Structure 1
């Protein structure tokens, strides 16, 4: 048997309880809050990990894992270097999708919407809440750009650490936050025999419409 055949033979059974329409909140943000709290209880280390999918002006997609740092009625926020690939793509095409996958709960949530850059003060506040080592790394790195050797980065970190030995590390103007303002949510619950439960919320005329989707 080839390796590809071995992969195709892999199976996983889903055994979680079902998801019914009457269990769904009218507001998807409240539904997300319920599921996030369950994920934080079950697997706190991974609960806020999310796939961020973006696309450039030509439609080429990119996806990577980032960490959710804040969510409220305004949207879902994360922080990064604006010069990164995701930052460049969001400047060209300010639309994205987030995916949360909570394996232990057999759940996933997709959230799609427009992305806005947060005020610099928001990024600066969060920057200074991070461990000093993380601040130094963010300050010296031109994210996604090539570099000759890791030692070059380590030397930059050491130099900046010495420079601000008894001071606060300044937040770079090229570093800060984004907020995805949701227009679509999809809540997925794994079910036996792949007859999964899927519910989609769509925003129209400032109202959320809820519908069940086929698996």
Structure 2
């Protein structure tokens, strides 16, 4: 039987990676949309050529890799450029995701994506788990992790779906505001429940 797909999402700094790792430790096949986004812009792939033609050589590093920081700066300042880039990349990223999800052998597989709402990727899933956290905690975690400015974190938060939009599409919500031991036990509880589901439904 084909595994059903759980969409795992949450805003920046909500703790998606920590939750994802807990599921991986339990043997669940997992595809990360951010990684798929990296694969599609590797040197030699058509997307990188189109991005370079559009934005110029300045968005490349010396070794020919995409300079993500430079690109991020450009698109967060200009909504039109962001839309152009999204229109190019989203279909390609979705193809990669579908390919990797098809390789799953666990009873269900997980698609981790910060932009589940925004990219229409929730159409690939049968159920949605939202990782939620108070905004102050999201900002604090992101500043510690990314060595970035408060303005940039705020810009990313503003570009992402709101908590309300995410919670509207959630089947399950995990509020990640405690320690890792507690988080692991919550993920185990969800995992046990998910194993009882048929195509993501009770």
TM > 0.5: no
In terms of Rg, which structure is larger? 1
Higher share in helix: 2
Higher share in strand: 1
TM-score, structure 2 length as denominator? Answer: 0.30
Q: Does 1 or 2 have the higher relative contact order (CA < 8 Å, sep 6+)?
A: 2
